[in-house]
A and B are shown apart, each in its own frame.
Chain A
C-alpha cells in the first residue's frame, strides 16, 4: 500500500471516470495578505458540464528526486507544467478586465496568478489523487485570432507555462549578501605595504 487508498485503487482498476479540474487563482489586490485575497476561477471541470470545456492539451508533469546515489546523485528539478486552453472568447486576454486574470476589479498580471490542477477518480464519490499541482505562471502564450473587422485579437489559443510555485520560491532563491549577511563589519582603511 502506498499513496493511493483502497477506494482510489478500486476506481482506477475498474476503469471508472477520471475527473480533472483546472483552477486559476487570481489576486484581488496588488498586495494579497492571504489566500482569501485570491479568487478561484475554475477554467475547466471535466465532471461539470456547466463549465465550458476549454482544455485542448492537458500536458504532463515530470518529477525526479535527488541523492539517488552518492556516486551519481541525479537531479533536483522544479516540476513544470504546460497546459493549452481554447481562448475563442478572449478570456485569457491579460488586458481584459472581464477575463480570468481579473477579479474584484483588480487586473492581475498572469505571473501573479497561480494555476491549480487536481485529478479525481470516481468510486461512489470523487477521490482526489495524490498529484495536485500549484504552479506559478511563467508566461502565457497566444495564438492570435481576428475579429470581425479583421483586427488581430487575443482570442485564439492560450498556452500557459507554469513552474511549481513552491519549488520556484524555495529553490529558485539565490543567497545574497544584502539579504543574508546579518553581520558585516569593516575596518577603517589601513595602508598596505605594497613592497614585496
Chain B
C-alpha cells in the first residue's frame, strides 16, 4: 500500500479541505448584541460548506434561530457531509465575545481576537470545525466588524497531511528548477503511510490516526509539519540528498549494520559512548483536545475537551504492547497510568478579573463562566499536540465516535546509550531518521538498534560523523 499512483500528481488535494462560504446567503447579523449576556448571536443563516469536497455535493444549510453551520462531519475514518437538520451541529450561543473593555487594549486601540470555536450539538462535542473569528473596532470603538474565516484544513494520516502541505506549498510557488521527485523522498512517505506492511501487529501499533490539522496564521509551515509529525512516530527531516523525508521504522533487513572498533580503509572508526538521559518517551491516547484559545472570552462548557474545567482520564491504546522490537513504545494500563500520573487537567495560567465588572447585580449571567473560578480567570493554554485530535471508531466519548486525542503519556526513563561515531564515507550508508544495528565486532557483542539522529559530512576530510541513539525499550 502506498499513497497512490496519483498522489504526487495532485491527489493530495483531496486531503486538503478548502472551505467556502455561500456569501449570497451569509449574513452575519450581529445586531443582536446582547448587553446582558454579552453574546453575539449569529441570528441569520451562515451557510458554510466545503466547496471542494470529498464525495457528494457540498452541503448548504439554511437559517435558523441561531447560526447554523453545515460542515463536513467526521465519521469514523471517513468524511461525510452532514445532512441538513439531522446531524448538522448547531452553534448555539457558544461564542461569547467578551466586553469591549476586555477585548480592547488599554489604549482603546482595535484589537483582534482569534478564537477557534468548537461545534456543539445537543450539549456535547460532536466532531470538529475550524473557524477563526476575528473582530475589530472602528476608530471610535463603538462599531465592530466581525470576520469569519476558515483557513485550509488538511486531513488524513500524518504522512498524508505532511505531504499534502508540502505539495500545496510547492504548487503555490515552488522553484521551477526542481521536479517533485527532487523535493520529496516519496518512498519514505509511502513507507510511513504503509501501516499494514508488517502485518496485524504493526497495523495496530502504527494505526496512525486520521487527523485534522488547520493552519495558524503567522506560524511557519515548519511548525505545522512538525506538529503533524508529532502525531505519530515518523521521523521527519531533510536527508543527506536534501530531499524531505518522513521515515518510519524499517524492517531489520533493510538496516545497515555498523561494526564498532572496525578499521575502515584509511580511517579507524572512532566512537564515544554517552548516556542519553533526557528522554521521556511517551505514547498513548487521551481524551484531550487542545485548548481552543488563550482568549478567555471563548467559553467552552466543562464537558468539552478544551475547557479549562475539563478533566480527562488518561487512556492508553489497548493495542500497544510494552515492547515492539525495543523501539519507542511502552505502555501502561489505565489504572497504572492514573496511579502514576493522576488525572490531568488542561493546563493554563490564571489572571485576576474584576468581579464587580462581570457579576454586578442584575447581570443575567449570574453564574460565572466556566473558566472563571473565584474571580480568577483561567487562561487556557495548549496541550502537547495543539490542533490535532484523533477520530477513531474505537474511541468513545459522550457516546460519540469522537475525539481521541493522542497525547504523549507513557514515560520511558531508562537511560539510553548514544554513540558519536566518526567513519569514512561508509557512514553514508544510513541517513538521519533510520535505524542501524550496532555491533561490537571485537567482542562479538550486539548493541542492538540505534537511531541516527544527526549526521555531519566533512567534504574536506571525507568523513562522516553520526549521532546514534539507542532505541528505547
Contact = CB atoms under 8 A, between A and B. Distances in A.
Interface string B224-252: 11100110011111111111110100000
A135 B81 CA distance: 44
Given A69-B281, A191-B143, A131 B457 contact: yes
Contacts of A70: 230, 280-283, 408
Interface string A163-196: 0111101111111110111111111111111111
A42 interface: no
Nearest to A20: B459
A10 to B, nearest CB: 11
Given A63-B454, A70-B282, A70-B408, A196 B430 contact: no
A25 B182 CA distance: 15
A187 B30 contact: yes
Interface stretch (B1-9, B148-156, B341-349, B397-405): B148-156
A35 B222 contact: no
Interface of B: 18-21, 23, 26-31, 33, 35, 99-101, 137-138, 141-152, 166, 169-170, 172-179, 182-183, 215-222, 224-226, 229-230, 233-245, 247, 254-256, 264-266, 278-283, 328, 357-358, 360, 408, 412, 424-426, 428-434, 436, 451-460, 462, 469, 472
Contacts of B172: 179
A182 B19 CA distance: 7
A13 interface: yes
17 contacts: A12-B265, A35-B178, A66-B236, A71-B408, A76-B226, A76-B236, A77-B238, A133-B242, A166-B244, A171-B221, A175-B219, A183-B19, A187-B29, A192-B33, A192-B143, A194-B100, A194-B101
A61 interface: yes
A180 B451 CA distance: 37
Contacts of A61: 240, 456-457, 459
A164 B226 contact: no
A57 B172 CA distance: 36
A185 B26 contact: yes
B151 A192 contact: no
B151 A181 contact: yes
A3 B100 contact: no
A164 B242 contact: yes
Contact of B280 (A57, A71, A193): A71
Nearest to B385: A70
A74 B229 CA distance: 12
A37 B454 CA distance: 36
B470 to A, nearest CB: 11
B142 A192 contact: yes
Given A32-B176, A68-B235, A190-B33, 18 more contacts: A9-B426, A9-B429, A13-B265, A32-B177, A65-B235, A65-B245, A67-B226, A79-B238, A117-B459, A133-B241, A134-B182, A135-B242, A165-B178, A170-B166, A170-B221, A173-B220, A182-B152, A196-B101
Contact of B357 (A66, A119, A179, A196): A196
Interface residues of A, number: 82
Contact of A192 (B144, B175, B183, B431): B144
Contact of A60 (B99, B425, B459): B459
B432 A182 contact: no
A62 interface: yes
Contact of A175 (B27, B150, B216, B242): B216
Contact of A196 (B137, B141, B280, B360): B360
The residue in B20, B26, B235 that gathers the most chain A C-beta atoms within 10 A of its C-beta is: B235
Interface string A60-91: 11111111111111101111000000000000
A78 B178 CA distance: 17
A10 B328 CA distance: 34
A148 interface: no
Interface string A33-65: 111011000000000000000000111111111
Contacts of A58: 459-460
B242 A2 contact: no
A181 B149 contact: yes
Given A18-B462, A67-B230, A189 B152 contact: no
Contact of B144 (A60, A78, A190): A190
Contacts of B455: 62-64
A107 interface: no
Nearest to A22: B459
Contact of A72 (B179, B239, B279): B279
Contacts of B152: 180, 182
Given A15-B266, A187-B28, A65 B432 contact: yes
Contacts of B217: 175-177, 180-181
A24 interface: no
Contacts of B429: 1-4, 9
A23 interface: no
A1 B240 contact: no
A14 B20 CA distance: 62
Contact of A71 (B23, B100, B101, B279): B279
A175 B220 contact: yes
The residue in A13, A135, A175 that gathers the most chain B C-beta atoms within 10 A of its C-beta is: A175
B176 A35 contact: yes
A154 interface: no
B459 A174 contact: no
A81 to B, nearest CB: 9
B47 to A, nearest CB: 11
A2 B255 contact: yes
Contact of B237 (A4, A76, A134, A177): A76
A30 to B, nearest CB: 13
A181 to B, nearest CB: 5
Interface string A85-115: 0000000000000000000000000000010
B117 to A, nearest CB: 15
Given A3-B431, A13-B426, A131-B457, A185 B21 contact: yes
A187 B221 contact: no
